[in-house]
Amino acid sequence: MGKIKVRVKINGKERSDEVEPRMLLAHYLRDVVGATGTHIGCDTSNCGACTVVMDGKAVKSCTVLVGQANGREIKTVEGLSQNGKLSKIQKAFLDKHGLQCGYCTSGMLMASYWLLKKNKKPTEEEIRRNLSGNLCRCTGYQNIVEAVKYASELIEKEGEEEEVVVESQ
Ligand code: FES
Ligand code: FES
């Protein structure tokens, strides 16, 4: 099958690549871009480990063909930290022990980042509903919910970070 050319902006940086049209965005990010923070935890679009933000909306990147990402902006977990400094949502997960093995964490972070972009003060119910597409086998979810609440407090107190361009993924 012939290759197609895709142009995408990933974590603020534009790039274009020739790829097979049947390639999934999750595989493109990991295998072509090298953004391996995006995890693949299932092949049934259930787990949410592959969650990234595309044009301002959280998507499961294993459900998106790379051609569908053409011309779009994508934020991956690599785009959260700022010059080596953890973002507020990352700091909150760390401080509130919102992770154990960490496999689900990049997806949890991106789904939470998206929630806090559209709703700065989510209720516990809204947090749980927002994360209902992300599975965690370790934490029992409570600390993840606490982490999102804490991130919301940090953002209220200190404001949001500016978006930065990530040179290397
Ligand atoms: S790898 Fe995408 S939902 Fe599980
Ligand atoms: S921390 Fe292990 S799957 Fe969530």
**Residue 169, pLDDT score:** 59
Q: For atom 3 of ligand 1, which residue has the closest CA? A: 45
CATH no. for 4-77: 3.10.20.30
**Residue 49, pLDDT score:** 98
Cβ atoms of residues 5 and 17 within 8 Å: yes
Cβ atoms of residues 38 and 30 within 8 Å: yes
The residues spanned by each domain of the chain are 4-77, 88-158
Beta bridge partners of 75: 53
Tokens of 166: 């990530």
Tokens of 3: 């290759």
Q: For atom 4 of ligand 2, which residue has the closest CA? A: 136
Q: Is 46 in the pocket of ligand 1 (CB under 6 A)?
A: yes
Task: State mean pLDDT over 3-24.
Answer: 97
Task: Tell me how far CA of residue 92 lies from CA of 27, 35, 57, 124, 148, in angstroms.
Answer: 28, 22, 21, 15, 7
Cβ atoms of residues 99 and 37 within 8 Å: no
Residue of 101, 142, 143 to mutate, ligand 2, most atoms within 8 A of C-beta: 101
pLDDT in tens, 40-83: 999 899 999 999 999 999 999 999 999 999 999 999 999 999 88
**Domains 4-77 and 88-158 agree in fold:** no
pLDDT in tens, 127-169: 999 999 999 999 999 999 999 999 999 999 998 887 767 766 5
Answer whether CATH 3.40.50.1820 is correct for domain 88-158.
no
**Residue 45, pLDDT score:** 95
The model carries a pTM of 0.95
CA of 136 to the centre of ligand 2 (A): 5
Ligand 2 pocket, residues with Cβ under 6 angstroms: 99-105, 136-139
